[in-house]
Structure 1
Amino acid sequence: MSTPKTKQAAGISERWNGLGLWTKIGVSAAGLVVLLAIAVLVARWLTSLDGVKDFLTTYPGDSELPDGAPVGLPAWLGWQHFVNMFLILLIIRSGWQVRTTKRPAAHWVRNNKGLIKTRNNPTKISLDLWFHLTLDALWVLNGAIFIVVLFFTGQWMRIVPTSWDVFPNAISAGLQYLSLDWPTDNGWVNYNGLQLLTYFITVFIAAPLAIATGLRMSGAWPKNATTLNKIYPITAARAIHFPVMLYFVGFIVVHVTLVLATGALRNLNHMYTSSDAVNWWGFGIFAGSLVVMAAAWFLAQPLFLRPIASLMGKVTK
């Protein structure tokens, strides 16, 4: 028997489902703004307390780097950053299309007469999925190069925690961000604790999770490995893969916002010109990269993807 509370909840759910997409987005955005405003007020109250002030003094936000840690961001890191940004944007777009498109505009079948041959007939997949998997392969390759060079050059010391005080410093930085009394930013030399932990999670946890779950859901996974499939079921991979994508979307939004809000010209020079100068060169290259990504976003449609996909297999409507 339904109770008044369950009926009320059901009514709210029905009204929510009846709203249009943009209305839902607007309501969600308004709710997020209210929550952020409350968080700011709470953070400002906390940072006014004597005990919290002492904590912020003891832990200003950043940990000391190990001896020999490199200073600055080299050119290869800037190129890696752009390539990663370019690929992850299209990966998110194509992944969303794979998830939401019910009737794909075209399908793709791998040519079984090429270098890679299989005993069974190749599986037909949507053109959107082919594009997504191709981008994934390039992203993994770029990531592998990044990891190798990261450890070879010592840049790993900037995004891997090397002392336990990174955690209280991350809390300190978080409180300063929320209170709008932001920590001193000097990413050319050292990231604050919150940035360091976020970059570590993104590179060494979120990215491997995306790869592992994506591989499990792909046709490359061995279907006849009964024991392995029981240990790692595809349902678990699907349950993790989408939230990881949402994490990357959230990371990108916050990352870009803070880059632009904490000294845009200097930060963009860090990433695009490998210098600590404050001028418009980095911004100009950044603007050009946005044009390139916008063009790629426009061209990532069946009309332009079919000729490329045809080089690797057979495309059918």
Structure 2
Amino acid sequence: AVAAGPRPPLTVPRTVWPGVAATVRPAPKPEPRRIGPFTRGQWAGVVIVGGGGLLVAAALAVFFVRWFLSLDFMQDFLVTYPGEYHLPDTAPVGFPAWLGWQHFFNAFLMVLIIRTGLQVRTEKRPTVFWTPRGDKKGKTSLTIWLHQALDVLWLANGVIFVVLLFVSGQWMRIVPTSWEVFPNALSAVLQYISLDWPTENGWVNYNSIQQLAYFATVFIAAPLAALTGWRMGALWPKNATALNKAYPVEWARTLHFPVMIYFVAFIAVHVALVMSTGALRNLNHMYAAQGSVDPNAYADNWTGFWLFIASIVVTAGAWIAARPLVVAPVARLFGTVSGR
């Protein structure tokens, strides 16, 4: 039975008294701060263990591929497919100045698009909004407006690039013109893994893995990014029932982020290979439009390097400036900017 009233007094002298533990409880330890699914210590363990595992796997891959390429039939394969094939006789040699400008502007916009895209993905409660003048219901966050405005500039730059690519004949450098591109690409990949890298001169001809990578980036990944972004953006017709059913927004959301990951991976690998396969020569090709059929030419010319550094400074400045204080005055030229 449960006592209904106060406990009756003791009938014997009290000999036991409650200690400190009966009234004082230790404060619970605070939860460790997590970055994503793991704490900092756990992330350090993941990096150490995962990095060590990757290094061991990479070393094993290098040893295996070097042994594989030493076999007689693979030596014959490398002679037949050295990693590149001859371009058509009408293919241009070298890079025009407009291509260097396009390359810089594309990289500049791509970095800002990735930055704002990640902000859009992680932004929970926007503090600044943009509303078009003719559509009061089209209110959106200033971050989304900046992301879409950069997308428009990137698309315009891309259209100009593709038109000039075909007008000048430069398309033959990044569009495969022979089925030999595939065995040559396999040859180039094996040579890269073996650390005995293929000899190439980008001023004259890309190797086949470069050609396939540039083709996929320009003609597959870029259109996918544009189409999925358009589907999720404000310019998509909201009342087009049949069109919305044929192309659900869920498809676009599923594809858009992996395409961005592809661009990030492409940029990282691209920059790493540019720097490790003759940085001064490669930077002169793309930033200074200087090169020669001699692969060793311009190997000690610093013009392209300093232009590259200037482009990094400009891009870093834009990265820092991409915040409401700087973006809002520009956004007001096209609509109304307001707070929460």
Return the TM-score normalized by structure 2. 0.83
Distance in 1 between the 2:262 and 2:57 partners?
19
Length-normalised TM-score, structure 1: 0.89
Deviations 1:62-91 (Å, cap 9, x if unpaired)?
011012100000100000000000000000
Give the Å deviation of 1:22.
Answer: 5.5
Preserved CA contact (<8 Å) 1:91 1:135: yes
**Secondary structure of residue in 1 paired with 2:216:** helix
Residue 336 of structure 2 aligns to a residue whose secondary structure is strand
Query: Which residue identity does 2:47 align to in structure 1?
Result: G
2:236 corresponds to which of 218, 221, 236: 221
Preserved contact between residue 209 and residue 241 of structure 1 (Cα < 8 Å): yes
Query: Rg bigger for which structure?
Result: 2
- Which amino acid is the alignment partner of residue 114 of structure 2? I
Matches within 5 A, 1:91-106: 91-106=113-128
Equivalent residue of 1:108, what SS?
Answer: strand
TM-superposed CA distance for 1:137, in Å, is 0.1
State the shift of 1:29 in Å. 4.8
Aligned-residue CA RMSD in angstroms? 2.0
Deviation at 1:24, TM superposition (A): 7.8
What pairs up with 1:41-60 in 2 under 5 angstroms? Answer: 41-60=63-82
Whole-angstrom CA distance in 1 between matches of 2:60 and 2:338:
53
* Contact 1:105-1:302 within 8 A present in 2 as well: no
| Paired letter, 2:274 | V
Shift of 1:94: 0.4
1:245 to 2:260 alignment = yes
| Aligned twin of 1:306 | 328
**Quick check: 1:63–1:166 contact (8 Å CA) kept in 2?**
yes
Q: Output one character per residue of 1:127-154: Cα deviation in whole Å (capped at 9) or x when no partner.
A: 1111100000000000000000000000
Q: Find out whether 1:268 has 2:283 as its counterpart.
A: yes
Bigger fraction of residues in helix: 1
Cα distance change on mapping 1:304 and 1:268 into 2, 3 Å: same
The residue matched to 1:258 in structure 2 has which SS? helix
The residue type equivalent to 1:155 in the other structure is Q
Q: Give the equivalent residue in structure 2 for 1:26.
A: 47
Question: 1:30 Cα shift?
Answer: 4.9
Q: Residues 22-67 of structure 1, C-alpha deviation per residue, up to 9 Å, x if partnerless?
A: 6487355555444433432332232122222221111000011012
Mark the CA change 1:67 to 1:31 in structure 2 (over 3 Å): closer, same or farther. same
Counterpart residue type for residue 174 of structure 2: I
Q: For residue 158 of structure 1, what is the amino acid of its counterpart?
A: R
Q: What does residue range 128-207 of structure 1 map to in structure 2 within 5 Å? A: 128-207=143-222
Partner secondary structure for residue 109 of structure 1? strand
Query: Structure 1 residues 219, 139: closer, same or farther in 2, change over 3 A?
Result: same
Q: Quote the offset at 1:207 in angstroms.
A: 0.3
Aligned residues: percent identity? 59
Match in the other structure for 2:310 = 288
Aligned partner letter, 2:189: G
Alpha-carbon distance in structure 2 between the residues aligned to 1:32 and 1:231? 42
Question: Moved runs in structure 1, 4+ residues, more than 6 A?
Answer: none
Aligned length: 297
| Residue number in structure 1 paired with 2:132 | 110
- Counterpart of 2:236, as a letter, is W
Supply the distance in 2 between the matched residues of 1:150 and 1:168 (Cα, whole angstroms).
Answer: 26
Q: Please, which moves more after superposition, 272-281 or 144-153? A: 272-281
Distance 1:38 1:24 in 2: 22
Q: 75-84 or 35-44: which moved more?
A: 35-44
